[in-house]
């Protein structure tokens, strides 16, 4: 099939910054741009992150917030 007639990819994602990470991580601005992104159709969860590094950092932040270690951002007292 020639390149002009290929169907567009169905799993193309658009992303946005993860609000949870943005409010809970003081180093959010220094992250790699792709590690900040979550799939725009999903909630701000670890599994919505587009990269493995973003997923892992989100999970670590969740743990820190639950244990009371994060004393910054509006989500620090959740849990």
pLDDT tens-digit profile of 3-48?
666 665 555 568 899 999 999 999 999 999 999 999 988 899 999 9
Q: What pTM does this model have?
A: 0.69
Annotated domain spans of the chain: 13-66
**So what's the pLDDT on residue 52?**
95
Separation between Cα atoms, residue 48 and residue 58, nearest integer Å: 10
pLDDT tens-digit profile of 36-70?
999 988 899 999 999 999 999 999 999 998 888 65
């Amino acid at each position: 099939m020639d390149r002009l007639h290929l169907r567009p990819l169905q799993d193309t994602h658009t992303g946005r910054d993860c609000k949870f990470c943005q409010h809970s991580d003081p180093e959010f601005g220094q992250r790699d741009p792709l590690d900040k992104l979550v799939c725009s159709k999903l909630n701000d969860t670890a599994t919505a992150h587009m990269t493995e590094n973003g997923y892992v950092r989100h999970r670590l932040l969740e743990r820190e917030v639950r244990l009371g270690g994060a004393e910054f951002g509006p989500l620090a007292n959740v849990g």
